Amino acid sequence: MKEDRQRAVLTLVATRPVHSQEELVALLQRQGFDVTQATVSRDIKELGLAKVPIRENGGDIFKYVVPSAAVNYVSRLHRAVAELVSSVEGSVNMIVLRTPPGSAMLVASAIDEAGWPEVLGTMGGDDTVLTVVRSPEEMPVIKQRFLDLKGSTAA
Amino acid sequence: MKEDRQRAVLTLVATRPVHSQEELVALLQRQGFDVTQATVSRDIKELGLAKVPIRENGGDIFKYVVPSAAVNYVSRLHRAVAELVSSVEGSVNMIVLRTPPGSAMLVASAIDEAGWPEVLGTMGGDDTVLTVVRSPEEMPVIKQRFLDLKGSTAA
DNA sequence: GCGGTGTATGCATAAATATACCTACCATGA
DNA sequence: TCATGGTAGGTATATTTATGCATACACCGC
């Protein structure tokens, strides 16, 4: 019952723009699911559906979409840096992160996956990660971003 | 000013979980941006930030994230099917879509990108797209999904 | 300088969404 | 059978988010 309904929700949002939970309620009722907005709100949370602004015709509106890998990338990076990085140093257009032995590759791949546009590339050795930033001017910004990531658990 | 603030918003949500717009207001004010929730709401819309439910510790909560490629996949497929597909026919475990000459490959690649699990693969010729569904039972479901996509602009 | 046009943003509030609380409905085991 | 615990979901409401309207400011052409 609940499972069927949630499958229907996934199909609906995958096949047309659904702009609000009330709209989803109406679509579900047309399929025989007799539910209220409260239940849909819970379904959305359980399914992990995201509400995103999109351009449609002229204006900006919202729609619900299935969750993306990008979400996980961000939190993977967050965890990796917060748990593994012990120091962050910058020089010219590079940033050097220190990790416990053996973890550097893991951190480097998380950084790569995050796909920050200011970062040209990242290499992981054994206990050292080297991140190359596009320009020296941007280096401090990215360095600070690593420090934020590192600190946001402790803080 | 606005641009700086929006850059700050991106950095904030990229580096820590931000659970509500009010929280973002507080974080921005700590950095000297004196704004209200209304402005943040508009920034979020302009930046395309998505609000997604995530698991954190025990409970489920929400956070804002940068938009993902997955979102674009869905709307690319939506546009492609709505604008280009003229007919949808199914047979056993296959669905045949007709398009204007030369557009079939475009539609096929959008379907592939969408990564529907029921679809084994898709080929695009000149004006014909062939989609192979995992089983004959699922074919009508997928066919309907295409019809929904096709209709959701006109409807 | 002055009216006109466009953009940014606050304020107040509407609209949308989440949730505390309650009830109903199993399933299980004493 | 009854008590207990766990899940689903509605109702009412709190919380959060979006937006209509008004203002302020900058940039133009006259």
Give me the residue from B14, B48, B152 closest to A53, CB to CB. B48
Mean pLDDT, chain B, whole residue set: 78
Whole-number distance in Å between A108 CA and C7 C1': 42
* ipTM surpasses 0.85: no
pLDDT at A24: 92
pLDDT band at B153 (very low <50, low <70, confident <90, very high): very low
Contact (CB<8Å) B15/A149: yes
Instruction: Return the HEC string of B23-73.
Output: HHHHHHHHCCCCCCHHHHHHHHHHHCCEEEEEECCCCEEEEEECCCHHHHH
Based on the domain organization, do B12 and B85 belong to the same domain? no
**């950084």: which residue's tokens?**
A111
Based on the domain organization, do B55 and B114 belong to the same domain? no
**d(Cα A61, Cα A83) in Å, to the nearest integer?**
38
Residue A153 has pLDDT above 70, yes or no: no
pLDDT at A90: 84
Q: Examine the fold and report which residue of A65, A93, A116 is the final residue of a domain before the chain moves on.
A: A65
Find residue B53's DSSP bridge partners. B62
Write out pLDDT tens, residues A43-85. Answer: 888 887 888 887 655 566 788 777 654 445 456 677 788 778 8
User: H or E segment at A122?
Assistant: strand A119-124
Contact (CB<8Å) A50/B52: yes
Residue A147 has pLDDT above 60, yes or no: yes
Based on the domain organization, do B46 and B15 belong to the same domain? yes
Nucleic acid strand C within 7 Å of B62 CB: yes
Question: Over the Cα atoms of chain B, what is R_g?
Answer: 21
pLDDT at B67: 65
CB pairs under 8 A between A and B: 99
Based on the domain organization, do B37 and B97 belong to the same domain? no
Those residues whose beta carbons lie under 7 A from strand D are A 1-2, 5, 34-39, 42, 51, 53, 60-62; B 20-22, 37-38, 41-42, 44-45, 51, 62
pLDDT at A56: 59
Write out pLDDT tens, residues B9-38. Answer: 887 887 778 889 999 999 899 888 889 999
Cβ atoms within 10 Å of A143's Cβ, excluding its own: 20
Q: Can you give the residue range of the structural domain that contains B27?
A: 2-65
Residues of chain A with Cβ-Cβ distance to B17 below 8 Å are 78, 152
Report the CATH number that the domain containing residue B140 is assigned in CATH. 3.30.1360.40
* Min Cα–Cα distance to chain B from A107, Å: 15
Contact (CB<8Å) B16/A78: yes
Contacts of the segment A79-83: beta carbons below 8 A, 24+ positions apart:
A80/A106, A80/A107, A80/A110, A81/A107, A81/A110, A81/A146, A81/A149, A81/A150, A82/A149, A82/A150, A82/A152, A82/A153, A82/A154, A83/A153
Contact (CB<8Å) A70/B68: yes
Q: Helix (H, G, I), strand (E, B), or coil: what is residue B127?
A: coil
For range B40-60, the mean pLDDT:
78
Residue B38 backbone dihedrals phi, psi, to 5 degrees: -60, -45
Q: Give yes or no for a contact between B37 and B28, defined as CB atoms under 8 angstroms apart.
A: no
Mean pLDDT, chain A, whole residue set: 78
Nucleic acid strand C within 7 Å of A60 CB: no
**Best-predicted range by mean pLDDT among A33-37, B97-101, B115-119?**
A33-37
Contacts of the segment A93-96: beta carbons below 8 A, 24+ positions apart:
A93/A132, A93/A133, A93/A134, A93/A135, A93/A136, A93/A138, A93/A139, A94/A130, A94/A131, A94/A132, A94/A133, A94/A139, A95/A130, A95/A131, A95/A133, A95/A139, A95/A142, A95/A143, A95/A146, A96/A128, A96/A129, A96/A130, A96/A131
Q: Examine the fold and report which residue of A45, A65, A85 is the final residue of a domain before the chain moves on.
A: A65
Among A23-37, A40-54, B68-82, B121-135, the least confident range: B68-82
Residue B40 has pLDDT above 90, yes or no: yes
Percent of chain B with pLDDT strictly greater than 90:
9
Give me the residue from B60, B70, B152 closest to A68, CB to CB. B70
Q: Examine the fold and report which residue of A22, A48, A65 is the final residue of a domain before the chain moves on.
A: A65
A150 against A95, higher pLDDT: A95
> Would you mind telling me the total number of residues written for chain A in this entry?
155
Based on the domain organization, do A90 and A149 belong to the same domain? yes
pLDDT band at A155 (very low <50, low <70, confident <90, very high): very low
User: H or E segment at A119?
Assistant: strand A119-124
pLDDT at A154: 35
pLDDT at B115: 61
Nucleic acid strand C within 7 Å of A38 CB: yes
All residues at 6 or more sequence positions from A72 whose CB lies less than 8 Å from its CB, including other chains: none
B67 against A84, higher pLDDT: A84
Nucleic acid strand C within 7 Å of A152 CB: no
pLDDT band at B119 (very low <50, low <70, confident <90, very high): confident
Which residue on chain B is closest to A72 by alpha carbon?
A: B54
Based on the domain organization, do B150 and B79 belong to the same domain? yes
Residue B110 has pLDDT above 60, yes or no: yes
Based on the domain organization, do A28 and A57 belong to the same domain? yes
